[in-house]
């Protein structure tokens, strides 16, 4: 797979490249779920109900990449993820599901920026933020630089979204 490269030295400003970055984002998520949860993600062919996700984890990116990576899923899906990470039944997972979702978002963001050669050294990640509920609006100020991949996670939708500033 082709790598997007930036020269070292002065702070590079990454140029949004959807055709290259979309498969890298997909690969980044697949690797995290495969390695940390032992789960193979499958890309959904068509969008599903956009309100069907009560848990959202956000990780900010600053530097040569500036924006937000988010993942969104249902409460039950978050419990299943945490259960797989901790090797315990989903019903026994409590607030760990929030923590797990944030950590997954963090790893996807880190994995993604690591695939953009030269960017990793100039891009920092925030600690994750978790939003619980669906009654909120998100207004992008990124100028439309958005990549969204919708996966099937154990028969439940999982949105992975990257929004970047110009």
Interface residue list for other proteins (CB under 8 A): 31-32, 35-36, 82, 85-87, 96, 99-100, 102-103, 106-107, 109-111, 113-114, 120-121, 123-125, 127
Closest to other proteins by CB, 101 or 147 = 101
Closest to other proteins by CB, 125 or 158 = 125
- Shortest Cβ 124–other proteins spacing (Å): 8
Nearest to 31 by CA among 43, 22, 41, 19: 41
Closest to other proteins by CB, 110 or 157 = 110
The first and second tokens of residue 49, run together, are 């109900």
Strands of the chain, DSSP E: 42-43, 55-63, 67-73, 123-125, 129-132, 145-153, 156-164
Closest to other proteins by CB, 107 or 160 = 107
Residue 81 CA, chain-centre distance (Å), reads 14
CA distance 163 to 116: 16
CA distance 106 to 71: 10
CA distance 124 to 162: 15
- Shortest Cβ 31–other proteins spacing (Å): 6
- Shortest Cβ 149–other proteins spacing (Å): 17
């Amino acid at each position: 797979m082709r790598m997007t490269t930036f020269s070292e030295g002065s702070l590079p400003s990454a140029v949004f490249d959807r055709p290259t970055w979309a498969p890298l984002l997909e690969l980044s998520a697949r690797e995290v779920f495969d390695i940390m949860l032992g789960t193979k993600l499958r890309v959904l062919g068509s969008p599903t109900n956009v309100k069907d996700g009560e848990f959202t984890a956000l990780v900010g990116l600053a530097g040569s990449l500036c924006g937000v990576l988010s993942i969104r899923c249902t409460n039950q899906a978050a419990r299943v993820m945490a259960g797989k990470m901790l090797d315990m039944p989903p019903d026994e997972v409590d607030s760990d599901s929030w923590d797990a979702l944030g950590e997954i978002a963090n790893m996807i963001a880190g994995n993604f920026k690591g695939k953009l050669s030269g960017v990793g050294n100039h891009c920092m990640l925030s600690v994750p933020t978790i939003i619980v509920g669906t009654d909120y609006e998100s207004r992008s100020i990124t100028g439309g630089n958005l990549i969204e991949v919708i996966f099937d996670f154990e028969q439940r939708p999982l949105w992975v979204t990257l929004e970047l500033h110009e």
